[in-house]
Structure 1
Amino acid sequence: MEVNYADSPDHHSSNENAPDSKLSPASVDELREAKQTLEHHGIADRLTELVGAPVTASLRLLPDVAENAVYAAIEKSLTVALDVALRTLGDDSVKSGKPRLLTHKLLAGLSGAAGGALGGATIAAELPVSTVLILRSVADIARSEGEDLSEVEARLACLEVFALDSGNQSGVEDDTEFGYFAVRAAMAKQIRDASQYVLKNGMSNTTAPPLVKLVAKIGERFGLVVSEKLAAQAIPVIGAFGGALINSYFIDHYQDLARAHFTIRRLERAHGKAIVEETYNGFQS
């Protein structure tokens, strides 16, 4: 697509504080790279490269007891992550500077090593740890892209990253398409309702209906990624070393998604959402 950089005077507002609707060539390149990451970068492909065989899985193929245990672990993980997001991300003493991505990746690797050595039975203990490590890494990336994590909506945007994987979403009970902006649109009501609830009632009750609905909506998509991770970890030869590598790939995947997500949000703050979405959708898939 030939991108229109909006040079005509009609695209400029007289309000000096209004977003600049002109996308520079550098911004267009950033947006194109973000789309490539968000829509052509599923975790299944990355895990297939690691284990040398296609990784496809469905939690519904597991025995009922195992399926229920995994879903319970996913719900617990996202509930813990929500609690961390609401209570601590805005108060983190690290306000700027280089994200601590390597530290988080190493810790996730150690967590995965334990899971790989002990088998899938550790999912209930290992997944919440991995999820919170990913969330803190996502928050670092958000800050580096100019997000103000004292704002509830920005903190929930960190949690939203767990819904952004571009892989097989056939198990998601949405009528929407699965492109990046379609996913954000599907999530918008839950994030708005959760933000309003927290602003009005505080953060003491993460079992309130708006927060439970948000966790459930994110869990629909995150659960599919977790099933692919578990399928890779279940390969008999994986063991502790493979478990560490899989968790490193897992956190690296969400770091990439976060970087793309918060790049787009930064461009939206600078230029307005309409032109960013229009340009994004105009790129060749």
Structure 2
Amino acid sequence: MPKTQLPATIDVEAELEKIARRYKAAGGVGINVLNLIGGQAENLLDRLPASVRKQLEGATVRALDHAMSAAHKSRGHVPDQASWLNSAVSAAMGAVGGAGGLPTALAELPVTTTLLLRVIEGVAVEHGFDPELESVRFDCVQVFSAAGPLSDDDGSDLAFLTARIALSGKAVQTIIHKVAPRLAVVMGQKLAAQTVPILGAVAGAATNYAYTSYYQDMAHVHFGLRKLAIEVDVAPEELNKRLVVKMRALTVA
């Protein structure tokens, strides 16, 4: 009689260590972007006209609305791509957007947002989650609340991993409006980088590459934690607390 194979024991601490290290490494590329374009994150937004800054949040909401529909529909026509290819395509789009200054950068914003959301959905699938489920789409948008690679984040604020509101037919719209203000600042930094004189195309390619890499890593952090919570039957909130401890230990080290 064949022996029944028992499921492998999951080393929770080792898995949390991997997730913590991925989180810490995610924003590093942003520093290279800043060095490349010769700017500072805190003054990037000052490069945008006041009228654009004022309308940025509304534009971000519209971009996310468009992205949710377009990214999801594209799954039936275009398969998920390798991470390097996603970054390469995103960089090419950023170069085109930056080449024409602010007008083309604004036009490129919803396209890039769609690509980023599609990349996040792909990571969700990689971790075994079904993007047809509204709860998973909710999580995909929620990943955007991890700010961006140009933001000053010491890794201690991981609320985006466990924040929840009541899921309903309007849940995705609710999270879009909740995430939009923070994402507007992030996208504003990207737009401002793309308006750098002469270097617009280079800055556009570099920032898009950085953003794609960053959100790809954030998606792995988010869905990796979700998957671990299911596998070991531990509340995400509890794993989140333990992850914060790991993050702080890595910062001290």
- Report the TM range for the smaller structure's normalisation: 0.7 to 0.9
Q: Which amino acid aligns with 2:109?
A: L
In structure 1, the residue matched to 2:16 is 28
Mapped pair 1:110 → 2:92: yes
With over 3 angstroms needed to count, the CA separation of the structure-2 counterparts of 1:93 and 1:51, relative to structure 1, is closer
**How far, CA to CA, are the matches of 1:183 and 1:32 in structure 2?**
14
Asked if the contact 2:143–2:215 (Cα under 8 Å) also holds between the matched residues in 1, the reply is yes
2:114 aligned residue: 132
Aligned twin of 1:227: 188
Other-structure match for 1:237: 198
- Answering whether residue 138 of structure 2 is matched by residue 156 of structure 1, we say yes
* Mapped partners of 1:183, 1:274: distance in 2: 11
Change (3 A) 1:213 1:196: closer
Cα–Cα, structure 1 residues 76 and 280, in superposed 2: closer, same or farther, change >3 Å? same
Question: Any idea what the Cα deviations from partners look like across 1:1-41, whole Å, max 9, x if unmatched?
Answer: xxxxxxxxxxxxxxx99xx8x64453132233244246xx2
For these two proteins, the number of residue pairs brought into alignment is 237
RMSD: 3.2
Q: Structure 2 length normalisation: TM-score?
A: 0.78
Kindly state the Cα deviation for residue 75 of structure 1 after the two structures are TM-superposed. Answer: 1.8
Question: Which amino acid counterpart does residue 179 of structure 1 have in structure 2?
Answer: D
Q: How far apart are residue 282 of structure 1 and its match?
A: 2.2
1:280 to 228, 243, 247: 243
1-structure distance, mates of 2:35, 2:44? 19
For the structure 1 residues 32 and 63, does the alpha-carbon distance in structure 2 shift closer, same or farther, using more than 3 Å as the test? closer
Give the gaps of 5 or more residues in structure 2. 1-5
- CA–CA distance in structure 1, aligned partners of residues 106 and 19 of structure 2: 37
Q: Decide which of 162, 165, 168 is 1:196's aligned counterpart.
A: 168
- Check conservation: 2:141, 2:176, Cα contact below 8 A: no
Cα distance change of structure 1 residues 178 and 62 upon mapping to structure 2, 3 Å threshold: farther
Are positions 1:252 and 2:213 aligned together? yes
SS of the residue corresponding to residue 205 of structure 2 reads helix
Name the residue aligned to 1:5. Answer: none
Pairwise CA distance, 1:104: 2.3
Change beyond 3 A, Cα 1:68–1:234? same
Are 2:62 and 1:76 aligned? yes
> How high is the sequence identity, in percent, across the aligned residues?
24
8 A contact 1:99–1:141 mirrored in 2: no
Instruction: Label 1:236 to 1:58 Cα distance change in 2 as closer, same or farther (>3 A).
Output: closer
Q: Distance in 2 between matches of 1:66 and 1:274?
A: 38
Structure 1 segment 41-190 matched on structure 2, within 5 A: 41=27, 45-57=31-43, 59=45, 62-84=48-70, 87-88=72-73, 94=79, 99-165=81-147, 167-168=151-152, 179-180=157-158, 182-185=159-162, 187-189=163-165
